[in-house]
Amino acid sequence: MQPFALNYARPAPELAVTTPYVYDSGLQLNVLVDGRVAASDHGLLREVGTTTSTAGSKTHFDD
């Protein structure tokens, strides 16, 4: 028998989002293909959801 809380488990949400930015070690920031800083594009961040409170759950405790 499994622990009680796992009776309420569900499949992990698909977090395999393809992010349209790459890390630039010179800037120490993620940048878009056109060179813009990804963090400055709030519309994009909302769309890809990488700043949401479930984004870090797989590897970090802190949502």
Partner 1 sequence: MTVLILTCEEDVTADMVVVHLHDAGVPVVRLDPADLTVGVSLSGEFVHGRFRGHLSAGGRLVSLGGLRSVWVRRPGVPAQRAQHASAWLTEEASQALYGMLRGSHARWMNHPDAARRARHKPWQLRLAQQCGLPVPATVITTFPRAAREFAERYPDLVVKPVSGAHPQDPPRAVPTSRVAPDTDFSAVAFGPTLLQRRIAKRADVRLTVVGEELLAARKAAAPDADPQEVDVRFAAPGSPWEPVEVPPRTAETVLRYMRGAELAYGAFDFVEDADGVWWFLECNQSGQFGFVEVETGQPIARTIAEWLGRPVPEERREADEPDVRAC
Q: Do residues 56 and 48 touch, judged by C-beta distance below 8 A?
A: no
Q: How many residues bind partner 1 (CB under 8 A)?
A: 43
| Polymer length in residues for the chain | 63
Choose which of 1, 18, 34, 35 interacts with partner 1 (CB under 8 A): 1
Tokens 């698909």 correspond to 14
Q: Which two tokens stand for residue 57?
A: 């759950």
- What is the pattern of x (binds partner 1, CB under 8 A) and - over residues 25-54? xx-xxx------xxxx-x--xx--xxxxxx
CB of 12 to partner 1, least distance (A): 4
Footprint of partner 1 (CB under 8 A) = 1-13, 19, 21, 23, 25-26, 28-30, 37-40, 42, 45-46, 49-63
